[in-house]
Amino acid sequence: DSGVTQTPKHLITATGQRVTLRCSPRSGDLSVYWYQQSLDQGLQFLIQYYNGEERAKGNILERFSAQQFPDLHSELNLSSLELGDSALYFCASSTRGRPQETQYFGPGTRLLVL
């Protein structure tokens, strides 16, 4: 158990809909990362937050947004969903948000868009 929790575990929705994925980092970790793993793809970095502020951005679509709240949990919002958004979405956390630090990953949320 990494100490990172993600809810829900599974999500099935329809095209055009909007969903929210939630992540609680390990106790004491200030930084949260979001990744997408599509079929046959590696982990694609989406976005990173550190202590409530956006720190780094990857290839995150404009239809996607995220935020980190004062209690340090984070939410990833996916809107106008398309079939291609079906993927595993991982959240990870680290202490100070440096890439040399170990990132602790949650178990992921599996999103299926029908």
Partner 1 sequence: DQQVKQNSPSLSVQEGRISILNCDYTNSMFDYFLWYKKYPAEGPTFLISISSIKDKNEDGRFTVFLNKSAKHLSLHIVPSQPGDSAVYFCAASVGQGGSEKLVFGKGTKLTVNP
> Which residues form the interface with partner 1 (CB under 8 A)?
2, 4, 33, 35, 40-45, 48, 55-56, 58, 90, 92, 97-100, 102-108
In whole angstroms, how close is the CB of 27 to partner 1 at the nearest point? 17
In whole angstroms, how close is the CB of 91 to partner 1 at the nearest point? 8
CB nearer partner 1, residue 64 or residue 90: 90
CB nearer partner 1, residue 81 or residue 97: 97
Which amino acid makes up residue 46?
A: L
CB nearer partner 1, residue 65 or residue 79: 65
